[in-house]
Amino acid sequence: MANDARHVVVLGIDGLRPDLVTESNMPHLAALAKDGTWNRRHTTVFPSETRGALTALATGATAQVNGVAGNQFYVRGTSPDQVFTETTHDWWAADERLAGNLVKAPSISEVLHQAGRPFAVVTSSGPGALPALNWKGQQRGQTGFNVRHPQIGYPHSFAARAHRSLKIPAGGTSADGPMTAFRVFEREVWPYDKPAASILWCTEVDSVSHLHGLQSSQLLAEMRACDDVIGELRAWRDAQPERDSITLFIVSDHGHVTIGGTVNVADALCQA
């Protein structure tokens, strides 16, 4: 690898609202923003659902171009059944049904593969997150691992090594997912491949927001756990000989709305 090679590490925090990022809630992220650049006009895709947003992140294209319109969607002119993206099986079944055209835009996985540069994705998210971020990466010999679903990992030699090195249970880790994902990257990905681009994706903030709400103590605890990972990631970067060539991005796929009630859309339409 050339000495002037650049490296990008993206840490994604699923469902993190930017207005919740304060020095008291997430001191490491606040400090990173102060020392770097905060993009206050960055917006997500519509509909703002995780796997549609992750596909947009991986391809740099909206759903109208990349073909993945959300967590589940219909494709006009094909089977009347919905396309689901919850599991890896859903992705492959949908791609087969769509004659290999589920994801229609080139992705970072494809571009880096063509350039002969390594790419890695490590997640603590649901099983559908890894194919969204690195669709067909296994076929390209790239690196992928899900600490919550460790059966989803490739290549097998790396996945077996990471599984045993970090003592990840066969059923996946149920706690400390973000930090475990970072440790997999730190110990088992970077020393071996030094990827041109790496994505670490953590779902815990999103999960507790759905379960407990935006003002919950559970949400604050998960935000701080992710903030601890940001502190570790920054310290890791600063300790590397390549530190001047490593760029860190902290991103989210969407936020959560604050609501005071619900609306029955069918009833509202009938009344109108």
Whether 2 maps to a domain, the answer reads no
Rounded (10°) angle between helices 204-212 and 217-239: 170
Whether 79 maps to a domain, the answer reads yes
Whether 173 maps to a domain, the answer reads yes
Please tell me the predicted confidence (pLDDT) of residue 2: 42
Whether 1 maps to a domain, the answer reads no
What does the pLDDT look like over 190-205, one tens digit per residue?
999 999 999 999 999 9
What does the pLDDT look like over 150-165, one tens digit per residue?
999 999 999 999 999 9
**pTM of the predicted model as reported, rounded to 2 decimal places:** 0.93
Rg (CA), the chain: 19
Amino acid letter for position 32: L
Nearest CA-CA partner of 89 in 149, 173, 168 = 149
Nearest CA-CA partner of 64 in 75, 80, 54 = 75
What does the pLDDT look like over 8-43, one tens digit per residue?
999 999 999 999 999 999 999 999 999 999 988 888
Instruction: For residues 132-136, give the mean pLDDT.
Output: 97
What is the CATH classification number for the domain harbouring 53?
Answer: 3.40.720.10
Whether 35 maps to a domain, the answer reads yes
Whether 167 maps to a domain, the answer reads yes
Which residue range(s) make up the domain with 223?
A: 7-271
Please tell me the predicted confidence (pLDDT) of residue 4: 57
Whether 151 maps to a domain, the answer reads yes
What's the number of domains the chain is made of?
1
